[in-house]
């Protein structure tokens, strides 16, 4: 068996810190949206305030259960 290296341990520690902070917002989101239709979003979502930003396209697949 190979033991995890230091970057792996750091990544694991970061996830251990992050995941508990996501539970409450996720539960609040479920409580607010359960039984509701999906809200419409724009085709393009951008945080760029000017037209000079470098463009990047990302496809996102959402799985609902």
Rounded to the nearest integer, the mean pLDDT of the chain is 84
Q: Is the pLDDT of residue 54 over 90?
A: no
Q: Provide the whole-model pTM.
A: 0.48
Q: Is residue 46 a contact partner of residue 53, using CB atoms and an 8 Å limit? A: yes
Buried b (16+ CB within 10 A) or exposed e, 2-17: eeeeeeeeeeeeeeee
Start-to-end Cα distance in the chain: 36
Per-residue pLDDT of 22-44, as tens digits, reads: 999 999 988 988 888 877 776 76
4's CB contacts (< 8 A; 6+ apart) are: 12
| Cα(39)–Cα(42) distance, integer angstroms | 10
């Amino acid at each position: 068996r190979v033991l995890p290296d230091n970057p792996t341990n750091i990544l694991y520690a970061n996830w251990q810190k992050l995941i508990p902070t996501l539970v409450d917002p996720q539960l609040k989101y479920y409580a607010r949206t359960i039984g509701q239709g999906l809200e419409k979003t724009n085709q393009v979502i951008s945080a760029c305030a000017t037209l000079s930003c470098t463009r990047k396209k990302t496809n996102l697949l959402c799985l609902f259960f």
